[in-house]
């Protein structure tokens, strides 16, 4: 291994704090992009004349691009300047945001979301890699808690901000995409001034383009199937057999390529580490629960409870508060006591409880009760998310920090993409079947079964039925998500707690290089 700068671990507290602000700002806007459209989607889809399946894909396209490129960004961090890469990913995000803001149809909007996702993938992977390089695991808890809070606030504050923009007549839904641009540019400038990291380059490292292509193709194929099944074709059909078979074959081929590649995108060797394997599984399942359920809550607020986009955004605040409080407090306590497993187990248990509570909602559930259920879910996810990454980073050699971190981020994002796509398909299918059941031969019933309804043009008696349909369908997707939360709990129970290391990733890497590892 060679470096074009000596690996010296001099990262003062002031330098770390300044760099963290830039990283957190970049992380916030990239995560915000995934959810800011949630409350605006009914308005966007109606204006651009899209369908219920398009509703999910506007979210899924960004998540898919982010998911698929996270491991590639992690690998690039082994080859090039991490500072340059994170600035490049933020620049991509700016470009995607501009295209999205000026979109004239759903096709253009989906393409722009892909570009946004490419940038967000870089920010999501590299921010955590940079943090681990600068800060020892023993001190990482409080910073991980802050990042977890930023991640959670970005995830759930998006609908509030989006709702306010949509309801402000002189702004509108296009500002859901424009609003992040100045903050992203500020993050690029701040990182240019404050982030100073050595470039550690492996001489023999090469990008495994074939592995990357197979992973992206396999995951994309399965996501396309899960999104369209029950909408464009039956679940049990030739299309299902073809797409699932193709997706599985591509992923099997990806595993074979990764097993023999000199520098694989997802190194299979890291899964020999029990902590990495279990935290990866848990991260994917948390992604399903976090993204898969919460993305559709704003639709429930608007279509079932009759709230405006702004009100729907405000109703998401309990989830933000739960996440913010638990993530920050857990991070501080982990740094203070050096123990982390109790927080993972507690978080998983609380997350299961939150999912179960949300599976009981109806069109008549009070706003207070829904808020309590959301707060419980937020507390659970907040204790889990970043601390899973901390547990894995603490248990691997410094040379594997980049690969481990990007792999965990990849699987968490993959879980989110699968959750939005699959649960979105379940929701759409349930809405369609309930609409046809309730309205029967009602004129236009077939079209309304697959379209997002415009409540402003419907008579009161029809609105009441539509409200109950969407409430039932939303409760169902949380019930479907419960087994995933239970599996996350089981995975966390089997993780073995190990003492947190006292030196940063760059310190450890310098020691490993000096020892010839």
DSSP state of 494: T
> Do 109 and 85 share a structural domain?
yes
What is the DSSP secondary-structure string of 52-82? Answer: HHHHHHHHHHHHHHHHHHHHHHHHHTTTS-H
**For the chain, what percent of residues have pLDDT higher than 70?**
84
Q: How far apart are CA 200 and CA 122, in angstroms?
A: 18
> Do 322 and 230 share a structural domain?
no
> Do 87 and 158 share a structural domain?
yes
> Do 253 and 323 share a structural domain?
no
Assess contact for 242 and 275: CB atoms under 8 A.
no
200, containing H or E segment: strand 200-201
Residues with Cβ < 8 Å from 307, sequence gap 6 or more?
Answer: 301, 315
> Do 344 and 221 share a structural domain?
no
**Segment among 143-147, 349-353, 466-470 with least mean pLDDT:** 143-147
Q: How far apart are CA 221 and CA 245, in angstroms?
A: 9
Give φ, ψ of 201 to 5 degrees.
-120, 130
Band of the pLDDT at 446, cuts 50, 70, 90?
very low
Q: Is 362 helix (H, G, I), strand (E, B) or coil?
A: coil
Band of the pLDDT at 447, cuts 50, 70, 90?
very low
> How much is the pLDDT for 505?
67
Pick the closest to residue 26 from 112, 98, 120 (CA basis). 120
Band of the pLDDT at 248, cuts 50, 70, 90?
very high
Assess contact for 322 and 375: CB atoms under 8 A.
yes
Residue that wins the pLDDT comparison between 408 and 399: 408
Q: How far apart are CA 10 and CA 7, in angstroms?
A: 9
> Do 154 and 61 share a structural domain?
yes
| Domain containing residue 202: CATH number | 1.20.1250.20
Assess contact for 429 and 450: CB atoms under 8 A.
no
Q: How far apart are CA 37 and CA 54, in angstroms?
A: 13
Q: How many CA atoms lie within 13 A of 324 on its CB side?
A: 12
Convert the pLDDT of each residue in 117-152 to its tens digit. 889 888 877 887 787 777 777 676 677 767 767 776
Average pLDDT value for residue range 277-286: 90
> How much is the pLDDT for 80?
78
Q: How far apart are CA 431 and CA 438, in angstroms?
A: 10
> Do 304 and 241 share a structural domain?
no
Band of the pLDDT at 513, cuts 50, 70, 90?
low
Range(s) of the domain holding residue 427 = 2-208+262-514
> Do 342 and 236 share a structural domain?
no
Mean pLDDT over each residue of the chain, to the nearest integer: 79
> How much is the pLDDT for 516?
62
Name the domain count of the chain.
2
Q: How far apart are CA 126 and CA 132, in angstroms?
A: 10
> How much is the pLDDT for 205?
59
> Do 249 and 229 share a structural domain?
yes
> Do 388 and 361 share a structural domain?
yes
Six token digits for residue 510: 């310098």
204, containing H or E segment: none
> Do 239 and 95 share a structural domain?
no
> Do 170 and 233 share a structural domain?
no
Band of the pLDDT at 35, cuts 50, 70, 90?
confident
Q: Is 2 helix (H, G, I), strand (E, B) or coil?
A: strand
Average pLDDT value for residue range 350-362: 93
């Amino acid at each position: 291994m060679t470096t074009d700068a000596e690996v010296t671990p001099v990262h003062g507290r002031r330098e770390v704090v300044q760099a963290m602000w830039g990283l957190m700002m970049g992380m916030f806007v990239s995560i915000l992009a995934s959810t800011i459209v949630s409350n605006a989607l009914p308005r966007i889809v109606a204006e651009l004349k899209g369908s219920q399946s398009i509703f999910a894909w506007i979210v899924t396209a960004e998540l898919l691009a982010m998911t698929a490129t996270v491991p590639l960004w992690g690998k690039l961090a082994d080859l090039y300047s991490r500072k340059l890469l994170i600035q490049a990913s933020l620049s991509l995000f700016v470009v995607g945001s501009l295209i999205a803001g000026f979109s004239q149809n759903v096709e253009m909007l989906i393409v722009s979301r892909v570009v946004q996702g490419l940038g967000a993938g870089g920010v999501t992977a590299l921010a955590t890699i940079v943090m681990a390089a600068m800060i020892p695991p023993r001190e990482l808890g409080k910073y991980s808690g802050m990042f977890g809070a930023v991640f959670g606030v970005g995830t759930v504050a998006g609908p509030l901000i989006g709702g306010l923009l949509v309801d402000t007549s002189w702004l509108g839904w296009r500002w859901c995409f424009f609003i992040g641009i100045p903050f992203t540019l500020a993050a690029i400038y701040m990182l240019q001034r404050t982030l100073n990291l050595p470039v550690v380059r492996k001489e023999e490292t090469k990008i495994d383009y074939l592995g990357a292509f197979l992973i992206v193709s396999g995951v994309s194929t399965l996501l396309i199937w899960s999104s369209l099944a029950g909408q464009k074709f039956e679940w049990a059909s030739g299309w299902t057999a073809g797409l699932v078979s193709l997706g599985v074959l591509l992923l099997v081929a990806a595993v074979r390529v990764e097993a023999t590649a000199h520098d694989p995108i997802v190194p299979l060797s890291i899964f020999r580490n029990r902590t990495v394997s279990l935290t990866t599984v848990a991260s994917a399942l948390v992604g399903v629960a976090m993204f898969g359920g919460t993305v559709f809550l704003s639709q429930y607020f608007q279509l079932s409870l009759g709230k405006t986009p702004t009100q729907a955004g405000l109703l998401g605040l309990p989830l933000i508060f739960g996440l913010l409080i638990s993530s920050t407090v857990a991070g501080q306590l982990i740094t203070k006591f050096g123990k982390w497993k109790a927080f993972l187990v507690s978080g998983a248990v609380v997350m299961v409880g939150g999912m179960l509570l949300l599976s009981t909602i109806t069109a008549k559930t009070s706003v207070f009760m829904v808020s309590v259920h959301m707060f419980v879910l937020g507390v659970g996810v907040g204790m889990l998310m970043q601390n899973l990454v901390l547990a894995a980073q603490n248990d691997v050699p410094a040379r594997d920090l980049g690969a481990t971190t990007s792999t965990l981020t990849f699987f968490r994002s993959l879980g989110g993409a699968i959750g939005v796509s699959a649960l979105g398909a379940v929701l759409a299918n349930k809405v369609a079947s309930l609409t046809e059941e309730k309205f029967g031969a009602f004129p236009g019933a077939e079209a309304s079964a697959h379209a997002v309804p415009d409540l402003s043009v419907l008579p009161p008696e029809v609105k009441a039925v539509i409200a109950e349909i969407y409430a039932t369908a939303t409760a169902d997707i949380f019930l479907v998500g419960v087994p995933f939360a239970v599996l996350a709990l089981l995975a966390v129970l089997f993780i073995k707690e190990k003492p947190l290391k006292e030196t940063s990733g760059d310190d450890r890497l310098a020691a490993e290089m000096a020892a010839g590892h």
